[in-house]
A and B are shown apart, each in its own frame.
Chain A
Amino acid sequence: MAEANCCICFLQEETEVEKLSGGDMLIRALADEGVECIFGYPGGAALHIYDAVFRQKKVKHILVRHEQAATHAADGYARSTGKTGVVLVTSGPGATNAITGIATAYMDSIPMVVISGQVVSERIGEDAFQETDMVGISRPIVKHSFLVKEQSKIPEIVKKAFHIASTGRPGPVVIDIPKDITNPVDKFDYEYPDKVKIRSYTPAGKGHSGQIKKAVQLLLSARRPMIYSGGGVIQGNASEYLTKLAKILNFPVTNTLMGLGAYPGSDRQFLGMLGMHGTVESNTAMHHADVILAVGARFDDRVTNTPGKFCPSAKIIHIDIDPASISKTVAADIPIVGAVDSVLSEMLELVKASDERPDTKALADWWTQIEAWRDRYSIQKNPNYSNEGMIKPQEVLRALYHVTRGDAFITSDVGQHQMFSAQYYLFDKPRRWINSGGLGTMGFGLPAAMGVQLAHRDAMVACVTGEGSIQMCIQELSTCTQYHLPIKIICVNNQALGMVKQWQDMQYDSRYSESLYEDSLPDFIKLVESYGHVGMKVTKREELIPRLEECFAMKDRCVFMDIYVDPSEHVYPMQVAPNGSMRDMWLSKTERT
């Protein structure tokens, strides 16, 4: 009898589905999805969810100081790991503060799930306290969004959100949850689905094999080829295939701002970044190329300069997972829609299997020509700044590269320091260069570095910033204190909004409209010290490397280096606009190509 009872108990346990409240379901679903860390800020409409966070251990919550930083931190976490970043905010101002970070992630196709609290269902539409139409406000800057109307749908919606955010061309997904849906009283069956099927959503997989064959044929017949790769190669984890393909063909490679690190930055075949502040050798080689292999790149206006003058003699192969990116601004001769890793690996196999190789003589001539451009224009070979007077911002990035041996995660804010980083820090690995390329969000650098450091606790993480950008999310110094994040903040301090000032120099006769602070900068050293961090001010050239070494030797401290640099320095090379072609560039304030 006892045995029989026991058996019944066992059966019941097997079949009984766990009952959870909406709030608990949500957090449990995150845990079941494999989420280790979420970034957020509590508030009224999210309090049931926050209570669920408190009562469990699997998902760690990082409390930021402003919701914008939560999104950037989740973004940095996602970019550096390839996992989906997760954000939790409350309704109203919590949700609207997250918008800038969502737009940043959307523009750079970063997988992110943003959970926002909402006022109780029956108050929606009544202008309730802290009510805002989050689904509406975020609509143009999300891949998809959900408004949860029934508790029982939570597991399925979470699964769908992660599926949509992380597959195809990744992007942010918003889940807006009214407070009554997460209330702790009502409990529902909880079961996390293994997979979901969305009939209206099928991300591209393999590319069309006929198109791939045609593309390989074109590559093998190229005389002046260029490989132009973008952020898609990093997001699509295809760096290895790209590198192998470039190596086997001996083709020159350029990366976009978002694609740096997809091909080893210190390799001979790498010509540097292309575009507005790209290298002359990359842009000139693009201009003269007869075949361009564009991979996971979107022919952004910061790359092509005047689209009508873009690469006049080139046949273009364009591989992208998003059909809408193909032939958007520049028409592709051979479009290939597909996951870049799959397409590149297929191309690699075809090239390996083929007896044909590009004309050796033509390729050798092409390389001779490229080397001539490189000898004349390379900023690595011929630094385009002087070593006199104040420290030059370029020197700071060179020194940073030297001191970190090129092996740090570098996050950046937006402006001149961002371009100098892209030019002078050579990234040999993907997911090491974390910057807001599409939206160009000042304030991104520090919170993004927090996300990177939390994902890589022992890694060297440096945030290259300026005295302008850092003040847009400077409150996060406090988060760095709370979670012991030993981020190294390299503030390239030129005492002005440098990029704005550069454009004002170039186009507005140096009328510095609102780009100067009139001696109102804080004492950053005292400021960071008040948060418990280390501050160092550097003004002399000979101090630069020793102080940077000292900074990176403090492995468990957050250090802020306030490095005073020459305020008159401009970022060069720079494409001539408007009406310039790829190769038309300013080399300095007075010289052009």
Chain B
Amino acid sequence: MRRIISVLMENEPGALSRVVGLFSQRGYNIETLTVAPTEDATLSRLTLTTIGDDHKIEQITKHLNRLVDVVKLVDLTEGAHIERELMMVKVKASGAQRAEVKRCVDIFRGQIIDVTATVYTIQITGASDKLDAFLQAVGEAAILEVVRSGVSGIGRGEKVLSL
């Protein structure tokens, strides 16, 4: 099962490599990974998605917790949560294609953020499956380049992951 693990950790050199190293060292896989400092500059928020059964995920969270740089973590998929991913796509847009691509962008509530005579650069945010669906709708033949940020997530309601 796909899980989103969100980690609050010390914003220090080497902290990220410890987290990433743990995954390769123990044979766990990372599907996506995003990391950036929080409002408190001494802390970073890292979100990763991984696939595993309950036993594996329990081991992953225990081992992450064992890292001295990790302050707190939560498996967002255990409760109600919101996940978002940002994607930028360059697609061929000339002739009749141009209008078709524009319509598709509107349907997926994306924005065209850069334009040339033959190319649209599109930005779309949403859950990962929405981004997958957009790519499918546009069609592989039209796609020139895809950049995805990886999943970020936050719990719904009053629950917060903070110090």
Min distance, Cβ A479 to any Cβ of chain B, angstroms: 33
Min distance, Cβ B97 to any Cβ of chain A, angstroms: 47
Partner of B63, one of A199, A200, A324: A324
CB pair A200–B17 under 8 Å, yes or no, is no
A93 at the interface (CB under 8 A from B): no
CB pair B163–A199 under 8 Å, yes or no, is yes
CB pair B69–A200 under 8 Å, yes or no, is yes
CB pair A135–B63 under 8 Å, yes or no, is no
CB pair B9–A200 under 8 Å, yes or no, is yes
Partner of B14, one of A135, A199, A328: A135
Partner of A200, one of B10, B58, B62: B10
Chain B positions 15-66 with a Cβ under 8 Å from a chain A Cβ? 17-18, 21, 25, 55, 58-59, 62-63, 65-66
* Residues of chain B with a CB closer than 8 A to A139's CB: 14, 17-18, 21
The residue on B at minimum CB distance from A145 is: B14
- Docked Cα-Cα span, A588 to B9, in Å, equals 54
CB pair B21–A140 under 8 Å, yes or no, is yes
- Docked Cα-Cα span, A135 to B12, in Å, equals 13
* Residues of chain B with a CB closer than 8 A to A322's CB: 66
Chain A positions 158-199 with a Cβ under 8 Å from a chain B Cβ? 164, 198-199
B68 at the interface (CB under 8 A from A): yes
CB pair A324–B62 under 8 Å, yes or no, is yes
- Docked Cα-Cα span, A145 to B14, in Å, equals 9
* Residues of chain A with a CB closer than 8 A to B127's CB: none
- Docked Cα-Cα span, A143 to B59, in Å, equals 17
Contact with B along A318-342 (1 / 0, CB 8 A): 0000111001100000000000000
Check A324/B59 contact, CB under 8 A, given A139-B21, A199-B163. Answer: yes
- Residues of A contacting B: mostly: mixed
Q: How many residues of A contact B (CB 8 A)?
A: 18
A144 at the interface (CB under 8 A from B): yes
* Residues of chain B with a CB closer than 8 A to A198's CB: 68
Check A324/B66 contact, CB under 8 A, given A139-B18, A139-B21, A140-B21. Answer: yes
- Docked Cα-Cα span, A198 to B70, in Å, equals 11
The residue on B at minimum CB distance from A200 is: B71
* Residues of chain B with a CB closer than 8 A to A135's CB: 14
Contact with B along A52-72 (1 / 0, CB 8 A): 000000000000000000000
* Residues of chain A with a CB closer than 8 A to B70's CB: 200
- Docked Cα-Cα span, A323 to B60, in Å, equals 11
Partner of A136, one of B17, B58, B69: B17
CB pair A328–B66 under 8 Å, yes or no, is no
The residue on B at minimum CB distance from A323 is: B62
B157 at the interface (CB under 8 A from A): no
A201 at the interface (CB under 8 A from B): yes
Not counting A139-B17, A324-B62, a sample of 18 additional A-B residue pairs whose C-beta atoms are within 8 angstroms of each other reads A135-B14, A136-B17, A139-B14, A140-B21, A140-B25, A144-B68, A147-B14, A164-B68, A198-B68, A199-B71, A200-B9, A200-B10, A200-B68, A200-B71, A322-B66, A323-B65, A324-B65, A328-B59
- A sample of 21 inter-chain contacts (CB < 8 A) reads A135-B14, A136-B17, A139-B14, A139-B17, A139-B21, A140-B21, A144-B68, A144-B69, A145-B14, A147-B13, A147-B14, A200-B9, A200-B68, A200-B69, A323-B65, A323-B66, A324-B63, A324-B65, A324-B66, A327-B55, A328-B59
